[in-house]
């Protein structure tokens, strides 16, 4: 089951968007629960009360709490949620990067962009449930979902896997060995001592990579251009 929230302050737009979502889900046999909100503050309240969503589809310009403020708030409670903005105002697209927005769909281009955005989001949500890094030793077994890995750093002969909740776990393997086992294009070396999870990169500035939680890591000059290319490709797929 995938849990989807749809938020738009215009009742007619909300009804049309929900209908479009449900039709697409039915067409592709996707089992999901879709909840509509005509007020952003009601969605905010439900999430505060513990309601869970995998995906949020939202307009940006809304009274009381606009889409950008809503996204920032939601990320505090549901850091792994995917957010798709559907709006007439392209000026917000750049700010969307700062909030790690999954996709941005212009209302005047819904027919060609919306279905791809929604299906790509569903694909990512489904793949997340299958992507885990397994640690198995004589004394412990542990599964770590890829989506929870922020970055991995070298500590002597160990690799320390830093997670989105602030915790860390250690494995006695080289970074190269861990990267090979992850076998995902989302993970990349930024220097000899660090691997980052590309979806959590917010910016690259002054030779440093800034992650979603504000952590800044040094990126070697030799890897910087390739890193920028991969990040640009990742971001480009979401606008």
Domains and CATH numbers, the chain: 2-128 (3.40.50.2300), 132-236 (2.40.50.1020)
- Rounded CA separation 94/129 (Å): 29
Using CB atoms within 10 Å of the CB of residue 42, give its burial: 0 to 12 exposed, 13 to 18 middle, 19+ buried: middle
Name the token pair of 199.
């979806």
Name the token pair of 202.
């917010």
Residue-by-residue DSSP string for 182-219? H--TTEEEEETTEEEEGGGEEEEETTEEEETTS-EEE-
Cβ contacts of 146 within 8 Å, gap of 6 or more: 128, 131, 132, 133, 182, 184, 186, 197
What whole-number percentage of the chain has pLDDT above 90?
A: 54
Closest by CA to 221, choosing from 209, 233, 211, is 209
Cβ(184)–Cβ(219) below 8 Å: no
Cβ(151)–Cβ(217) below 8 Å: yes
- Rounded CA separation 74/4 (Å): 13
pLDDT at 93: 52
pLDDT at 123: 87
pLDDT at 234: 78
pLDDT single digits (tens) 210-236: 998 889 999 999 999 999 998 888 776
Q: For the chain, which ranges sit under pLDDT 70?
A: 89-99, 129, 236-239
Name the token pair of 97.
């990067």
Closest by CA to 92, choosing from 133, 122, 62, 54, is 62
Cβ(223)–Cβ(198) below 8 Å: no
pLDDT single digits (tens) 128-149: 767 889 998 888 899 898 888 9
pLDDT at 46: 95
Residue-by-residue DSSP string for 146-182? GGGEEEEEEETTEEEEEETTS-EEEESS-HHHHHHHH
């Amino acid at each position: 089951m995938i849990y989807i929230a749809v938020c738009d302050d215009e009742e007619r737009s909300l009804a049309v968007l929900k209908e479009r979502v449900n039709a697409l889900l039915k067409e592709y046999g996707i089992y999901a629960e879709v909840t509509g909100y005509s007020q952003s503050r009601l969605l905010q309240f439900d999430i505060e009360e513990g309601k869970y969503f995998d995906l949020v589809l939202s307009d940006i310009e809304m009274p009381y709490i606009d889409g950008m403020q809503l996204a920032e708030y939601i990320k505090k409670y549901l850091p792994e949620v995917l957010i798709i903005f559907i709006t007439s105002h392209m000026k917000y697209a750049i700010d969307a990067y700062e909030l790690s927005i999954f996709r941005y769909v212009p209302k005047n281009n819904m027919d060609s962009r919306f279905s791809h955005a929604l299906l790509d989001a569903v694909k990512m949500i489904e793949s997340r449930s299958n992507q885990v890094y397994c640690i198995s030793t004589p004394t412990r077994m542990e599964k770590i979902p890829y989506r929870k890995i922020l970055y991995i750093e070298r500590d002597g002969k160990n690799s320390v896997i830093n997670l989105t909740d602030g915790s860390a776990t250690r494995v006695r393997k080289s970074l190269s060995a861990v990267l090979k086992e992850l076998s995902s294009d989302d993970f990349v070396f930024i220097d000899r001592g660090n691997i980052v999870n590309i979806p959590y990169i917010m910016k690259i500035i002054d030779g440093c990579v800034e992650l979603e939680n504000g952590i800044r890591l040094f990126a070697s000059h030799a890897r910087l251009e390739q890193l920028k290319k991969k990040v640009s490709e990742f971001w480009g797929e979401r606008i």
